[in-house]
Amino acid sequence: MKTTYSFMRHSFAALLVTMGLLFAGNAATAQGNGEIPADTRAEIEQLNKVIEKSLTAKDFASIIDLYSDDATIMVPGGQKIQGRKAIAEYWYGMTAAKSIKSEITELGGNSKMLYQIGKWTITKVENGVEKSMTTDVVVVWKRGNDYSYKIQLNSSSNPVASAIKKSDVFEAVQP
């Protein structure tokens, strides 16, 4: 019993120290009001604009360049797309997409890793008819040694628009 108590006491102490370090790290990189600095927010908003403009221009290479070499995309249904080649195939399969609109509702994290919570609205043309679908999205941005942010994880939920049927879920065409 004494060994179990000692282990639990040390484990709890380690947990408190870890939480304290995480809190201190986040506090050190945040402004006084607990938010991401304005220049960092502007940088992430600009990277989202790159995605929007590149998809409209069918410049998928520019979107793929925003992902880290070991990035993962998680799409509805739990499918994981991992690695640069698979991510390239995913984005090049988006030829039916006409545009994407990004909305950031929350941005947090620290100087090395940021999370973005928001929505992406994708408009595609199918049989001559435009359809727009909105999905909740979580994007984790990782800062590299060159201080640029790259997407480490991009996870989308099922479309939240109530008018879209399950059969209308937008998916990239896999070759």
**Phi/psi-derived region of residue 77, left when phi > 0, alpha when psi is between -120 and 50, beta in every other case:** left
Does pTM surpass 0.85?
no
Residue-averaged pLDDT of the chain:
79
Q: With pLDDT > 90 as the criterion, what percentage of the chain qualifies?
A: 62
State pLDDT tens for residues 61-101: 999 999 999 999 998 877 899 999 999 999 999 989 999 99
Same structural domain, 54 and 140: yes
Angle, CA 168 vertex, CA 162 and CA 169 arms, to 5°: 85
Burial class of residue 141 (count of CB atoms within 10 Å of its CB; 0-12, 13-18, 19+): buried
Same structural domain, 114 and 155: yes
Same structural domain, 108 and 26: no
Q: How large is the average pLDDT for residues 10-18? A: 38
CA separation for the pair 71, 73 (Å, rounded): 7
Q: Would you state the pLDDT for residue 17?
A: 37
Dihedral pair phi/psi, residue 32, rounded to 5°: -60, -25
Same structural domain, 71 and 108: yes
Domain that holds residue 160: 38-168
